[in-house]
Amino acid sequence: MLNLDFHPTGRHFLQIPGPSPVPDRVLRAMSLPTIDHRGPEFGALGLQVLGKVKQIFQTRHPVVIYPASGTGAWEAALTNVCSPGDHLLMYETGHFAWLWQQMAKRLGLVPEVIALPGTCAATGLPNSWRHGVQADLIEARLKADTAHQIKAVCVVHNETSTGVTSHIAAVRRAIDATKHPALLLVDTISGLASADYQHDAWGVDVTVSGSQKGLMLPPGISFNALSPKALEMSKHATLPTAFWAWDEIVEMNKSGYWPYTPNTNLLYGLNEACDMLLDTRHGGLPMTFARHHRWAEGVRSAVKAWGLAIQCADAAVYSPVLTGVVMPQGVDADAVRKLIYERFDCSLGTGLSKVKGRMFRIGHLGDCNDLTLMAALAGCEMGLKLAGVKLHGSGVQAAMDYFSAHAAPVALAKAA
């Protein structure tokens, strides 16, 4: 029998940027008996969950919940609003933006990729993978598209591979400034419920997200938040949709049901996670975002004290979800990660594609607190020293100083 509980005594520190550690409250909710997904009890659950999820996305409009990963929600976003051969403007900020481009090609769409040109002189890494979306580049390209061939602009809000959180409202302003009719499609799979995200206020047409990051759930649920414009466009799009089709699911959701079997027990967990995130006694979403910003600043203080580069080169778009740590030239980041995992039972995120072997990622989201992060940073510091990486100072001490000097603004919601 496969042993899935092979970690040594004590807690395994899951500090990857998703799937994130799941609170005991959520795990217990998921353990409730499965119910009839056509019965009245489920209809009440469905209506409740759908209402709470709208609050998480900060929208008044429909949010579709799929029994799928975030990749499925990418496909749903594209197939519901596009027709074969449609031209997309896709901004590359990292590995997941690149993967979305590859999906668009497979679906018979024509993605045009734009990005910040050049490489960073200090690290040799692509500039586009160290900075956020440059709205002015999008605006310039849309101005040149006088025939309005571009059907949608696709960007990633929080790029999980790099630790960069782009300004989505600026992208909306860029589109509006050109009076271009293109839809705005945004991936906030890793940003939702950890970084501020406002579907309605920022004028997003389709928002894509998933369960396993800021929502503190296991993988298996994904989302499309929709605008009225996107719903109208879907009536005329001709890419094939069946499982992903919005019309059926939006209609059935009005009574709390799905056109196929939903993942009932994950919906129990989603309901509980929404209660935790929206709880006004603990500050609701604003304090959730503030908590993640504080954790991120503490982690970044450690990286700076070590004298190592942060993957995100622009402090204005530092991610509150994760921090990418760039290794000095000649140091294999994956070897460092392996050492930390084997010696200190701490999992860190790997560098992906263009930055593989050059950096690792520390997640600061999900069911964690100051001491969780202090333990992870201690594991990192010991591992870096054992790997022979020359450090300028103690990141652990810097993080302790930061967390001691900057108390959490409100008590954390009870996670256990």
Q: Quick one: pLDDT at residue 6?
A: 65
- CATH code 3.10.129.10 for 24-278: no
CA dihedral sign, ordered 81, 86, 87, 91: positive
- E-strand ranges in 236-337 read 309-310, 322-326
Q: Is the pLDDT of residue 416 over 50?
A: no
Tell me the whole-structure pTM to 2 decimals.
0.95
Q: Can you tell me the distance from the alpha carbon of 189 to that of 209, in angstroms, rounded to the nearest whole number? A: 4
Mean pLDDT of 265-289: 95
Q: Quick check: do 13-20+283-405 and 24-278 share a fold?
A: no
Share above pLDDT 70 across residues of the chain, in percent, rounded to a whole number: 97
CA 64, CA 197: separation in Å to the nearest integer? 17
Average pLDDT over residues 235-255: 97
1-25: average pLDDT: 84
pLDDT tier, 5 (very low <50, low <70, confident <90, very high otherwise): low
DSSP helix/strand/coil, 362: strand
**Residue located via tokens 């030239």:** 329
Which among 288, 287, 311 has a CA at the least distance from the CA of 299? 311
* Per-domain residue ranges of the chain: 13-20+283-405, 24-278
Name the average pLDDT for the chain.
Answer: 95
pLDDT category of residue 32 using cuts at 50, 70 and 90: very high
350-363 residue pLDDT tens: 999 999 999 999 99
- Is the pLDDT at 415 greater than 80, yes or no? no
Residues 141-154: what's their mean pLDDT? 98
Residue 8 has pLDDT above 60, yes or no: yes
How does residue 412 score in pLDDT terms, banded at 50, 70 and 90? low
The per-residue pLDDT for range 385-411, each reduced to its tens digit, is 999 999 999 999 999 999 999 998 766
Per-residue pLDDT at 10 exceeds 90: no
Whether 41 shows a pLDDT value over 60: the answer reads: yes
Cα-Cα-Cα-Cα dihedral sign, residues 21, 24, 29, 34: positive
For range 61-72, the mean pLDDT? 97
pLDDT, one tens digit per residue, over 315-344 is 999 999 999 999 999 999 999 999 999 999
Q: Is the per-residue pLDDT at 121 higher than 90?
A: no
Structure tokens at 199: 């579907």
* Mean per-residue pLDDT, 87-114: 97
Tell me what pLDDT residue 107 has: 98
- Superfamily of chain region 13-20+283-405: Aspartate Aminotransferase, domain 1 (3.90.1150.10)
Residue 47 tokens read as: 């209506």
Q: What is the pLDDT of residue 11?
A: 84
